[in-house]
Structure 1
Amino acid sequence: MLVPLRDAVSRTCGGKAGTLGVLLRAGLPVPDGFVVPLDADRATDLDLRDALDELGGPVAVRSSADDEDTGRASAAGQYESVLGVQGAERVADAVRTCWASLHSPRAVAYRGATDQQPRMGVLVQRHLDAEVAGVMFAPGGPAGVTTIEASWGLGPSVAGGTVTPDAYRVHADGSVTYTVADKVRRIDRRGTHLVTSEVPEPDRRRPTLDDATAERLAGLGRRIAGVLGGAQDVEWAVVDGDLWVLQARPTTADLPVRRSSTVSGTTLVGTPCSRGTATGTARVVRGPDDFARVRPGDILVCPWTDPSWTPLLHLAAGVVTETGGILSHAAIVARERRIPAVLGIAGATTTLHDSTTITIDGSAGTVTTHP
C-alpha cells in the first residue's frame, strides 16, 4: 500500500508528494520518506512500523491532496501537516488528521462550490530540525530575481506568517540585497512537541543568511524551476549548513512590485503582498471569537492570519497583518483571491481602530486612515 517517495507521482500520490518525487529522482536534496496514496483503504489499520524503522527518528506527516500545489490553486495552508511525530500509533493518528482536513471548514471554503471531490494522499518524511527555514520564489527564467524569506527555526513561522522574516533578493548577476526584520519568535521541536519561543535579543536583528547561502538557495531554486518547468514557490530548510527542499508548488499569481507613493502622517507602511487598492471599514480580528463581526467589504486587521480564517477572505476587501511576508500562506491566498494585502505592520491592531475607514494599497504597501 505504501509508496516510496522516490517513486511517487501526482496521479496516485497527490500534488505535494508527486512533485517531491520528481525532485528526488532528479537528484535534488529532498528528505526521504513514503506516501500513503490517494486510494488507500481508510477502513483498514495502518501498518507503518517497517517503513518508519527505515526512516528512523521523528517524522513530518503532511497532506498531499490531488487538488493541492497545482498551477490552478495552491491550497496553501488549507490542509494539515503534523511535524515531529514519533511512534507508529502517533504517526497513524497524524495520517488520519491529514485525511480529515480534506473536509475541514477552511478547506471547503477555499475550494468553493465545486462538483469535484478531491482525494487526500499523505506524505511521511524524515523530520528536519532546521536552524533556519523559509520560503523562496524561484523565477522561471535565468534573468529573473529570486525572492527569499527566512527566519530562525522551523518553517511554519514563515509560511504561517507568525513572524516577519528577513527578505532577500538574489539578482541574475549574483548580487544580493536584503532587509533584516525584527524576528520576535521562532518554532522548534522539543521531543514530540513544537514549541514557540522568543528569539534572544542579539539574534532578532541578526541576518539569518549570509550572501553565499542566499546565492546557494537561489541556485537551488533555479534548478527546481528548471526541473519542474516554470516559476515555483519553494519551502526550504538549512540543517548543519546543508540545504533541503521541503515543498515546491507552481506560482498561482505574480508577486507585486512595490511602487512609490506619498506617505502622510496618517499612513502606515508594511510589505506589499497582493496588488490592488480598497477602501472599507477596518475590522480588528484577533481570533475566532471576532469572526461573526466581519461584514462583506470590511478590511481585516489582525496579528496574523491562521489558515482557519480562509472563509473570511471571501468577505474581506483587503487584509492587514502585524507580521508575515510576501511568501506566507496568507499572502498567497490573498493574491489568488485578488484582494489587496499589506503584511508586517507592527502594532496594526492597536494603531488602526475598529470600525474606522481605511484605504489599503497592496502595491505600495500602505494603509491610510481617514477622518
Structure 2
Amino acid sequence: MEKYVLYFKEIDKTYLPFVGGKGANLGEMTKAGIPVPQGFCVTTLAYRKFIETSQEMDELFNRLDRVSPDSLEEIRELGQRIREHLQSISMPDDIQSAILQAWERTGKGKSYAVRSSATAEDLPTASFAGQQETYLNVRGKEQLLHAIQKCWASLFTDRAISYRAKNGFDHRSVFLSVVVQEMVFPEVSGIMFTADPISGNRKIISINASFGLGEALVSGLVSPDLYQVRSGEIIKKQISRKKIAIYPVPEGGTITKNIPAEKQEVQALSDQKILELAKIGQRIEEHYRSEQDIEWCLVDGKFYIVQSRPITSLYPVPHITDDKLHVFFSFGHQQMMTDAMKPLAISFWRTLMPFGKKGSVRSEGHALLEAGGRLFVDITELLCLKPVRKILPRVLSGIDELIASAISELIERGDIQCKPNKQVKRKVVRTVLPIAKNIIKNLFFRDPSQGLKYVNDFMQRSIKECESFVKGASGAERIKRIQESLGNLLLYSNYPLSNVLPYPLSGIVAWKLIERLSQKWLGDQQSVHLLNKLKKSLPGNVTTELGLMIGDLADAARPYPQVIDYLQRAKDETFYEGLGRIQGGDAFRRKLVQFMDKYGMRCPGEIDVTNPRWREAPTLLVPSIMSHIRSVAPGEHREKFRRGEKEAEQAAKEILSRIGKTRGGYLKKKLMSRLITVFRNGMGMREHPKYIIVQHFDIYKQAILDEGRALVGKGILEHEQDVFYLSLEELLALEENRFSGNIRELVQSRKIKYEQYQKLTPPRVMTSEGEVITGRRRDIEAPEGALIGTPVSAGVVEGVARVVLRPEEAKLNPGEILVAPFTDPGWTPLFNSAKGLVMEVGGMMTHGAVVAREYGIPAVVGIDKATEIIKDGDYIRVDGTQGYVQILEDDEDA
C-alpha cells in the first residue's frame, strides 16, 4: 500500500496498519452503513516518510528505548524535545499535495476534526485512548497541515511515551495515521457504552450526554446526563446541571460558553432519542462482536458516530450455553491464588470437578468455567435449592466476607428465578449425606486421635495407586488415564477425597459449636481470649510442618557461612551439585532432601500445576530461608510451636474448669472436652485434602512433561512446556493424530493471551450478564482513614510493612508485618518471620488466616488493593481483633 491518503469508504479493519485503530473503525462503520461524518485518513506511510526526513530521530528513539515508565522528569524533557523537533521539520511536498487534494475533494470550505490514530490504538487489548491529540474546527489548508503535523508530534506526549513503555510497546513499531473528518456542529453530544462500564453488565447500555461538542464531557469540564437502557426500555435517568458547553467558532477553533440557568437542568436527549441512540449502539456492537465505547453527536435531529473503540476495562465473562442468568464466584479467591492460570491447569481443575458433567468422568465439567485465565464456580443451580440459599452465604463467609455479602445481595434482589433441578438435588444429597454422617460419627463416637493416622495411611495408598495407574501407560492411553484419575479423584476412585473431607470438616463444625456454647455458657472477654489460644499449634497440620521444616533448613545453614553465601547465588540447574563443594553443604543437603521428599511438589500458587515446584526450582526457597535466619533465633520456631501447644493445652483446661463451675457443669464440661479434642485433632487436617490433590497433580504433571518431550522429539511441539498451553483433550487429540489446525500458532497465541490475562484483576462475584457484584463490608468502629477488612487472627501489632508480591522475592526482617495479595501453602515459610499479616484476599477459614492463628500473629484480610495503598516501609498498625489497618507513618520517621 503506497498511498499517503485513504478515504473512509476505502477502509475496513484490514487497513489498521495503515490508518490506525481509529481510522480503521471509522472506515469499518462507514462500510457497515453506520452514520459517520465523511472524511479521509493520512496513512502511516506518510508519517514514516515524514520521520525519515529527520536526522535526529534514530538517536531520540534510542533514548526512548532506555527510558523507564516511572522516570517522569526524563520522559517530560525527552517528549518535549521530540515534539518541538517534529514540529520544526518541513512536511515533504508529495505528502502535502496528497493531503490537499483529498481536502479539496471532501470540501475545502468545510471545518474538520483532526485526530491522531495510532496503530496500537482502539484495540481489544489496549485502547491507548487519549494518548494523542485531537484538534477541532480546523479550517483552511494552513490550519489543516499544521494540525496534522502536531498530531504526528503528539505520538510523543508524556502520557503516550509512558503508556507504551509501561505496556511493552516498541516506540519504533507504533505508527501514527491522522483522521481528517468533517466537523458536525451538534446540539448535543456524548459517549455511549454498550455495556455498563461501572458494573460491567453487558445488558445495559449507558449513555452520557451534554450540550455542544463532546470535548467538554471528555475533558471533565461538565457533568453529563446519564441514561441507561435495557431491553429497549429506559431504566435510569440522572439529569445533571450542565453549566457550560463547548462550541465551534467560524474562524476555526472552539469557545467555551455558559449555558443559561433555565437550560442547565433540561434533559439533553428526549426519551425517543435515547432509545434511537441505544439501537445504533446495539448495531455497532453486533457488527464488531464486542462491547463498544462510542462517541456520538446529534445534529438537526440526526445522530452521527464520530468514533467507536472496544471497551478494554471489562473483565471477560464465562461462556454459557443458555440465556438464563448465571452466578459465578472466583475459585482463585477461594483458593487464595488470584493470578491467571495456564490452560493445562484450568483443564485439570475442570476435569477434577465432578459436578456439571454431561459426558464421562474424563470430560471437563461446567460447574467450573474459565474467564480471563481464571476459574469461576457456577453456583446457579445450587442457588435454586432453598436450603443452599440459606447455608451457602454462611459457608462462603469463612472464605471471603465480600463473596458471601455479594451472594446474599443477589439472593435478596431476587435475580435468581429458577426451579430446583431434581438431578442436581439428588447429586448434592448423595454427595453431602455420607460426609455429614461421617462428621457426626467423628464428633461424637470415633476416637479423634486415630483420625490423623487414618488420613495419612489413606493418602499414601491413594498416591501409590495413582502413581502405578498413570505410569503404567504412555501416549494417548496415559492422557486418558490422567483424565480418568482426575475425574474420579473427589468422589469415585478407590480412595476418593470425599473420605478425607469429614475429618477437617469435623474440626470446623466442632469449632463452631465451641464458639456458640462458650458464648452461651461463659460469654465474657476472657473466654474469647482463651478460645484464640485454642487455635495455636494444631497437631498434624502439613502446612505448619512445612514451615517448621523451613526453619530446620535455616538452622542447618546457620553455622556455615559458605552455605549461606552459596544459597544467595545458587542456580537451580546446579543447586545440589554446588552444595557438595562447600563446607556444611552435605549437612544442609541432607535436610533439604528430607524436605523435598515430603514437600518438594509444593510451591507458591500451587493450584496452577504449571508453576515450578520447589523440587524443580529449589532457589524459590532461598528468600524464606534467609528471612528466617535474619528474623528467628536458632530453634525458636520449634520452641514457639511447643509453647503454642502448651498454651492451647492450658487454655483448654481453663475453659473446662470455668464451664465445670456453671450450672449443669459436669455434662457441659464433658461435651466441651469432647469438642475441643475433636477440634484440635480435626482442624489440624484442614490442609490434607489440598495436599493430596497437589501430590496427585505432581504425578500427572511429570507424566505430561514426559509426553511433551516425546512430542518435541517428533517435531510436533517446539518446547516440552508448550503442553502447559493445551487442555487435556487437546493433548489427547495430538497424541491420537486428530488435532486440526496449527498447534504451534495456537500455543503462541495462548502465551500472548496468558500475559494479557496476568494484567487483569478478577472480580469476586459476577453474573453471566457481566455484572460485578462487589458486596458490602460490615460496619465497624475504626479510626478515620483506616483500611477496613476482615479480622481473622486477634491481637494488635505495630511495625514496618513489608509488601511482598511474590514469596521468592521476600526479604523479611525481624518485627516486620507481611503485606501480601494472598497466601497459600507456598507462602507458609514466611510466617515464622512475620509479626503480623495483611492480605487483599481471604476469610476466617482460608489458609493465611488459619496459619496466622496457629502462629499467634494478628491478621486482617480482604483489604482490596492493600499492596498498592500500603507502601513498602510504611509504619502500620494491624488490629486483628476489630479488623482494620492504619498507616501511621513511613519507616524513616518511625
- TM over 0.5: same fold? yes
What do residues 138-170 of structure 1 show as CA deviations (whole Å, max 9, x unaligned)?
149x97110000000001111222111000001
Q: Distance in 1 between matches of 2:219 and 2:204?
A: 23
Letter in 2 for 1:97: K
Q: Distance in 2 between matches of 1:162 and 1:257?
A: 29
- Give 1:182-197 correspondences, 5 Å limit: 182-191=241-250, 192-197=252-257
Letter in 1 for 2:31: R
Q: State TM-score, norm by structure 1.
A: 0.68
- Kindly, what percent of the aligned residue pairs are identical? 33
Q: Distance in 2 between matches of 1:180 and 1:58?
A: 31
* 1:17 to 2:20 alignment: no
Q: Distance in 2 between matches of 1:200 and 1:70?
A: 40
Equivalent residue for 1:3, pick from 6, 27, 44: 6
Equivalent residues of 2:44, 2:176 under 8 A apart: yes
**Deviation, structure 1 residue 92:** 0.7
Equivalent residue for 2:143, pick from 74, 80, 90: 90
* 1:116 to 2:174 alignment: no
CA gap 1:234/1:38 in 2 versus in 1, 3 angstroms:
same
Equivalent residues of 2:194, 2:202 under 8 A apart: no
Equivalent residue for 1:248, pick from 302, 308, 313: 308
Equivalent residue for 2:225, pick from 131, 148, 166: 166
Q: Distance in 2 between matches of 1:260 and 1:183?
A: 32
Q: Would you say how many aligned residue pairs link Structure 1 and Structure 2?
A: 272
2:160 aligns to what? 107
Letter in 2 for 1:6: K
- Give 1:301-316 correspondences, 5 Å limit: none
Equivalent residues of 1:143, 1:172 under 8 A apart: no
Q: Distance in 2 between matches of 1:225 and 1:278?
A: 42
For the residue of structure 1 that corresponds to 2:272, the secondary structure is: helix
Q: Distance in 1 between matches of 2:786 and 2:119?
A: 34
Q: Distance in 2 between matches of 1:101 and 1:278?
A: 41
Q: Distance in 2 between matches of 1:278 and 1:69?
A: 38
- Give 1:227-306 correspondences, 5 Å limit: 227-254=287-314
**Deviation, structure 1 residue 89:** 1.6
Q: Distance in 2 between matches of 1:213 and 1:92?
A: 37
What do residues 188-241 of structure 1 show as CA deviations (whole Å, max 9, x unaligned)?
101202111111111110000111101011000000001111100000000001
**Deviation, structure 1 residue 177:** 2.2
Q: Distance in 2 between matches of 1:257 and 1:156?
A: 30
1:134 aligns to what? 190
Q: Distance in 1 between matches of 2:786 and 2:100?
A: 53
What do residues 90-148 of structure 1 show as CA deviations (whole Å, max 9, x unaligned)?
101100111001011111122234351310000101011111000000149x9711000
Q: State TM-score, norm by structure 2.
A: 0.29
Q: Distance in 2 between matches of 1:150 and 1:126?
A: 21
* 1:203 to 2:254 alignment: no
1:50 aligns to what? 101
Q: Distance in 2 between matches of 1:243 and 1:174?
A: 19
Letter in 2 for 1:52: W
Q: Distance in 2 between matches of 1:102 and 1:13?
A: 14
Q: Unaligned 5+ residue runs, structure 2? A: 54-91, 316-770, 780-784, 788-863, 866-894
Letter in 1 for 2:102: A
Higher relative contact order (CA 8 A, sep 6+): 1
**Deviation, structure 1 residue 53:** 2.1
Letter in 1 for 2:122: D
* 1:39 to 2:45 alignment: yes
Equivalent residues of 1:135, 1:233 under 8 A apart: yes
2:572 aligns to what? none
What do residues 249-282 of structure 1 show as CA deviations (whole Å, max 9, x unaligned)?
00111398697879x9xxxxxxxxxxxx996xxx
Equivalent residue for 2:32, pick from 12, 26, 32: 26
Q: Unaligned 5+ residue runs, structure 1? A: 265-276, 280-337, 340-371
Letter in 2 for 1:223: R
What do residues 28-67 of structure 1 show as CA deviations (whole Å, max 9, x unaligned)?
1011111110111224131233322222211111111001
2:123 aligns to what? 70
For the residue of structure 2 that corresponds to 1:14, the secondary structure is: helix
For the residue of structure 2 that corresponds to 1:175, the secondary structure is: strand
Equivalent residue for 1:224, pick from 243, 265, 284: 284
* 1:145 to 2:204 alignment: yes
**Deviation, structure 1 residue 186:** 0.8
Equivalent residues of 1:139, 1:225 under 8 A apart: no
Letter in 2 for 1:112: A
For the residue of structure 2 that corresponds to 1:102, the secondary structure is: helix
For the residue of structure 2 that corresponds to 1:11, the secondary structure is: helix
Equivalent residues of 1:176, 1:211 under 8 A apart: no
**Deviation, structure 1 residue 174:** 2.4
Equivalent residues of 2:227, 2:234 under 8 A apart: no
CA gap 1:36/1:173 in 2 versus in 1, 3 angstroms:
closer
Letter in 2 for 1:100: A
Which protein has the bigger strand share? 1
Q: Distance in 2 between matches of 1:208 and 1:148?
A: 11
